[in-house]
Copies of this chain bind each other. A is one copy, B any other.
């Protein structure tokens, strides 16, 4: 039976602002057996997909994204905030509740046609995940899975990326 990972997640009330209950994964990361159980579960969902690259979103997405890449024998590609990546980038703007934000990915990070797994820690409204998918599409990557540790179902972020296969280890 799969280990229940929810027991390692800490609820922090009123973070980052009042009324929000933040799902803290640092309490999972500090337990070696929880790291192993999490990466094993992510790997099981992706192992048969012939993944060439795992792409992950700064910065909590990097943590399990890079371990998953290593376990799958795939390459790892970071998507970052503006002006963090040093070489030529694709840029993607996306809307936030108030205003907008931009994420970037190196133009030479993905070769056209490669099988891509996109990973982030939490699926909330789906805005960042959608923008990340658009970056991968700009590079002509073939998105075969979008995986999250946690899906906040009530925010309906799935609708933003419904054309891709979505996996999440924990749902709230």
> Bound state CA distance, A69 and B29, in angstroms?
9
Contacts of A59 in B (CB 8 A): 58-59, 62, 80
Q: Which of A105-120 contact B (CB under 8 A)?
A: 106, 109
Q: Which of A60-118 contact B (CB under 8 A)?
A: 62-64, 66-67, 69-70, 73-78, 80, 83, 85-87, 106, 109
Min Cβ gap A139→B in Å is 12
Contact across chains for B77 and A35 when beta carbons are under 8 A apart: no
Q: Which of A9-17, A123-131, A151-159, A163-171 contacts B (4 or more CB under 8 A)?
A: A9-17
Contact across chains for B22 and A77 when beta carbons are under 8 A apart: no
Copies of this protein chain in the complex? 2
The 5 tightest CB contacts between A and B, nearest first, are A59-B59, A12-B86, A30-B75, A15-B86, A29-B76
